[in-house]
Amino acid sequence: MKIDTLIKGGTIVTSTGSVPRNGKEMNDVRIIEKGYIAIDDGVIVEVAEGDPSRIEAKTTINAEGKVVTPGLVDPHTHLIHVGSRENEMALKLKGVSYLDILKSGGGILNTVRSTRSASDGAIISQILKSLRRMVKYGTTTAEVKSGYGLNTEQELRLLRLMHNLDSLQPIDIVPTFMGAHAVPEEYKNDKDAYVHLVVEDMLPKVAEEGLARYCDVFCEEGVFDIDDSRYILTKARELGLGLKIHADEINPMGGAELAAELRAVSADHLLASTDEGLMKMKEAGVIAVLLPITSFNLEEKFARARDMIEMGLAVALATDYNPGSSPTESMQFVMNMAAVKLKMTPEEIITAATLNAACAIGMGELIGTIEEGKAGDVVVFDAPNLNYIPYHLGVNLSNTVVKRGSIVYKAQE
């Protein structure tokens, strides 16, 4: 057999299938010691144990002594913006809360100002810098939300710019419209008029141009309430978009219940969700996307991952990359925190960062596992076994990152 790329000799660790793994099933990963993966034309054509000597490959990657996983999937990021917010760190360290910073015109609104006034080129160069970091750390697919434009022209601009990124870097981007990220300064005394603008002007244009696969809302005290969120998401659903929701991050808003009611693909954060809300999510098949770096960085509590897994929910993990509450591109850091703070097992973590994350952005058929027919997206970790990945903290363990069969990152050894 002649193929493009062969990865051989490593310990392959992968979930299986195209649908989310729920609860305890998240532990059922397939482990192939001394396995090989054959990739041709960007697609996995064979995965097996043993000697691949009959296979002739243009590129061979020796993964002996290393762990091979599916490419990591980051299903929740706010990557597209200009600027950073290290100037708010001092306030934060003095104890000023995330929502108080936002209320006083900082936070998201700070980033909206720098993004609106930036050129397209400046936006593209900042996001490319982040995407390149993500590739090095093993991410091969990412969701990206708009939400730093907050008017029709600027929101559409951010979504259109996302569509240019495919030709500039290897990560596949799944675009989400998040006009309901904050109420912009011009509408600060008339939130309802802004919600109306999102529903009547932005959403139809986003849908008509096919600019986004999902619509997301920041459902939080002082931002958008449950009724606003229901109104916006219902309209988005009518227009054919999938639904996501920033749910119960800081205050118990009933976001988990709303996600279940509207059959959102995911509800994200969930720090303050009730058991009832979580049970409803489980019954409706809503994926729980957990963002432990945000908890760590805001010194909030952590989501109840163990309870969720006990209840039978499908849990996914994401960076929540954004310039305020989670300035990191590293899914490996997320995986560390998922072990230490969410008490997830290494098997659950791998499932949450690959298959379940892929399902949280509607990509479970194409990516998220190492199986025949899936895209050839793979990370070779400089780790002797799976447990080592969430155990070894704060450095980059990726040795080789492969996107659709091509090497897109190789560490210096």
What is the spatial distance between Cα 329 and Cα 1, in angstroms, rounded to a whole number?
38
Which residue lies nearer to Zn ion by CB, 78 or 403?
A: 78
Residue in this structure with the two tokens 């920041």, named with its chain if needed? 218
144 binds, among Zn ion, ligand IZC, none (CB under 5 to 8 A by kind): none
- Using CB atoms, what's the residue nearest to ligand IZC? 324
CB 244 within 8 A of CB 208: no
C-beta closer to ligand IZC: residue 7 or 108 = 108
Q: Please tell me the number of Cα atoms within 13 Å of 310 on its side-chain side.
A: 7
Q: For residue 61, how far is the Cα from the chain centroid?
A: 27
Q: At 271, which amino acid appears? A: L
Q: Is 74 in the site for Zn ion (CB under 5 A)?
A: no
Closer residue to Zn ion, CB minimum distance, 248 or 320:
320
Nearer to ligand IZC, 3 or 108 (CB): 108
- In the complex with ligand IZC, the residue whose CB is nearer, 137 or 218, is 218
Stretch that binds Zn ion, among 108-116, 224-232, 314-322, 362-370 (CB under 5 A): 314-322
- Please pick, from the candidates 155, 220, 320, 377, the single residue that binds Zn ion as defined by CB under 5 A: 320
CA distance 224 to 233: 12
User: Could you tell me which of 331, 333, 353, 350 has the C-alpha nearest to residue 341?
Assistant: 333
The distance of closest approach from Cβ of residue 200 to ligand IZC in the complex, given in angstroms and rounded to an integer, is 23
- CB of residue 383 to ligand IZC, shortest distance in Å: 31
Element containing residue 34 per DSSP (H, E): strand 30-40
Q: How many residues bind Zn ion (CB under 5 A)?
A: 1
Decide whether 102 or 286 has the Cβ nearer to ligand IZC. 102
For the bound state, the minimum distance from the C-beta of residue 354 to ligand IZC, rounded and expressed in Å, comes to: 24
Rounded to a whole number of angstroms, the distance between the first and last alpha carbons of the chain is 30
Residues that bind ligand IZC (CB under 6 A): 78, 107-108, 111, 218, 246, 322-325
Smallest gap, in angstroms, from Cβ of residue 145 to Zn ion?
7
State which of positions 245-284 bind Zn ion (CB under 5 A): none
Enter the DSSP assignment of 24. G
Q: Which does 324 bind (CB under 5 to 8 A by kind): ligand IZC, Zn ion, none?
A: ligand IZC
Please give the C-alpha separations between residue 161 and each of 74, 80, 117, 127, 206, in angstroms, as whole numbers. Answer: 19, 9, 15, 10, 13
Q: Which is nearer to ligand IZC, 185 or 238 (CB)?
A: 185
Q: Which does 357 bind (CB under 5 to 8 A by kind): ligand IZC, Zn ion, none?
A: none
- Which of ligand IZC, Zn ion, none has residue 82 at its interface (CB below 5 to 8 Å by kind)? none
Give the shortest CB-330-to-Zn ion separation in angstroms.
16
78-107 as b/e: b if 16+ CB within 10 A:
bbbbbbebeebeebbeeeeebbebbeeebb
Q: How do 30-40 and 43-49 pair as beta strands?
A: antiparallel
Binding positions for Zn ion, rule: CB under 5 A: 320
